[in-house]
Structure 1
Amino acid sequence: MKITHLSTYGGYGEVGSTVLRLDQSLKSSGVESAVVCLHHTGHSTSANVISSGLFGRIGSKFNIFAERFFSKILTRKSSAPFSLQWFGRSAIHHPAVRHADVIHLHWVNDGFLSPKFLAQIDELEKPVVWTFYDSNAFTGGCHDHQNCENYHKECGFCPLLKISGKNDLSHKTWARKKRAYSELNCHIIAADKLMADAVKLSSLMGFREVAIIPRSMSKVFKPYLKPDAKKILRINSDKFVLMTSFTLLMNDLFRGAFNLIDALNDLAARPGIDQSNFELVILGSKLGETLPEFPFKTTFLGSVSNDEHLSKCYSAADVFIVPSLQDRLEDGVMESLSCATPVVAFETVGTLQVVRHLENGYLAEYGSMEDLATGIEWLYHDENAPDIQKEARRTILTQFSEGVIAEKHLLLYQSLIDLQPK
Structure 2
Amino acid sequence: MKILQINSYDGNGGAARAAARLNEALKLHNIESNLIVNYKYGSHPEIKTFSANPITKLYTFSLIGLEQVLTKLRLKKEKIPFSIPFIGKSIQKHTAVKEADILHLHWTNQGFLTIKSLEKLLALGKPVVWTFHDSYAFTGGCHVRYDCENYKLQCGNCPVVKNSTSNDVSHQFWKKKHNLYSKYRFQIVTPSNWMGSAVRNSSLLNNFPILTIPNAIDANLFKPLDKVEARLKLGLSADKFIMLSGFMPSKVDKHKGVSYLIEALDLLADRHDCKNVELVIFGNKPGTETPQMSVSTSYLGTINNDELLATVYAAADIFLTTTLDDNLPNTVMESLACGTPVISFSTGGVPDMVKHEETGYLAKYKSSEDFCTGILWAINHPNRKELNDQARQLVLESFSMEAVGKKHADLYKSLLH
TM-score class, shorter: 0.7 to 0.9
Q: Which consecutive residues of structure 2, in runs of 5 or more, have no partner in the other structure? A: none
Instruction: Identify which range, 370-379 or 129-138, moves more after superposition.
Output: 370-379
The separation in 1 between residues aligned to 2:27 and 2:247, in whole angstroms, is 37
Q: Deviations over 1:314-343 (max 9, x none)?
A: 222112233556575544322211211122
- 1:337 corresponding residue in structure 2: 336
Counterparts of 2:70 and 2:250 in 1: how far apart (Å)?
Answer: 32
| d(CA) in 2 for partners of 1:24, 1:140 | 33
d(CA) in 1 for partners of 2:253, 2:113: 34
Q: Distance in 2 between matches of 1:378 and 1:316?
A: 19
1:16/1:385 CA distance change after superposition, 3 Å: same
Q: Which residue of 1 aligns with 2:43?
A: 43
Query: What SS is found at the alignment partner of 2:349?
Result: helix
User: 1:242: which partner in 2?
Assistant: 243
Structure-2 residue corresponding to 1:146: 146
Q: Alignment length, in residue pairs? A: 411
1:351 aligns with 2:355: no
1:101, 1:137 → 2: CA distance? 23
Spell out, residue by residue over 1:297-328, the C-alpha distance to the aligned partner (whole angstroms, 9 max, x if none). Answer: 33343444433323222222112233556575
| Amino acid corresponding to residue 147 of structure 1 in structure 2 | D
Q: CA RMSD in A?
A: 2.8
- Superposed, 1:7-156 pairs within 5 Å as 7-53=7-53, 55-156=55-156
Kindly tell me: are residues 46 and 154 of structure 1, through their superposed partners in 2, closer, same or farther at Cα, counting changes over 3 Å?
A: same
TM (normalized to structure 2)?
0.88
* Mapped contact 1:256–1:324 kept (Cα < 8 A): no
Given the superposition, is the C-alpha separation of residues 378 and 70 from structure 1 closer, same or farther in structure 2, using an over 3 Å criterion?
Answer: closer
1:127-183 deviations in Å (ceiling 9; x for gaps): 111011111111112221222222222222222222322222222212221222222
Shift of 1:73: 2.1
Alignment match, 2:197? 197
Structure 1 unaligned runs (5+)? 269-273
Q: Which has the higher contact order (CA 8 A, sep 6+)?
A: 2
Deviations along 1:78-109, whole A, 9 cap, x unmatched? Answer: 22222221212222222332232221111111
Q: Distance in 2 between matches of 1:204 and 1:267?
A: 48
The CA deviation at 1:56 is 3.4
> What does residue range 354-373 of structure 1 map to in structure 2 within 5 Å?
354-364=353-363, 372-373=371-372
Deviation string, structure 1 residues 331-373 (Cα, Å, up to 9, x no partner)? 4322211211122334445332112233322334556666545
> Secondary structure of the equivalent of 1:299?
strand
Q: Is the 8 A contact 2:242 2:278 kept in 1?
A: yes
Task: Write out aligned runs for 1:369-388 (5 A).
Answer: 372-388=371-387
* Inter-partner Cα distance in structure 2 for 1:49 and 1:292: 42
What is the distance in 2 between the residues matched to 1:282 and 1:62?
33
Q: Hey, what's the Cα distance between the residues in 2 that align with 1:263 and 1:148?
A: 30
Q: CA deviation at 1:31?
A: 0.9
1:168-201 CA distance string (max 9 Å, x none): 2222212221222222210111111221122122
| Residue equivalent to 1:161 | 161
Contact 1:140-1:155 at 8 Å conserved across structures:
yes
CA distance in 2, matches of 1:250, 1:46: 39
Counterpart for residue 271 of structure 1 = none
Cα 1:331–1:382, aligned 2, differ >3 Å: closer, same or farther? same
Matched-pair identity in %: 38
Cα–Cα, structure 1 residues 47 and 346, in superposed 2: closer, same or farther, change >3 Å? Answer: closer
Misfit runs of 4+, over 6 Å: none
> Relative to structure 1, is the Cα distance of residues 41 and 228 closer, same or farther in structure 2, using a 3 angstrom cutoff?
same
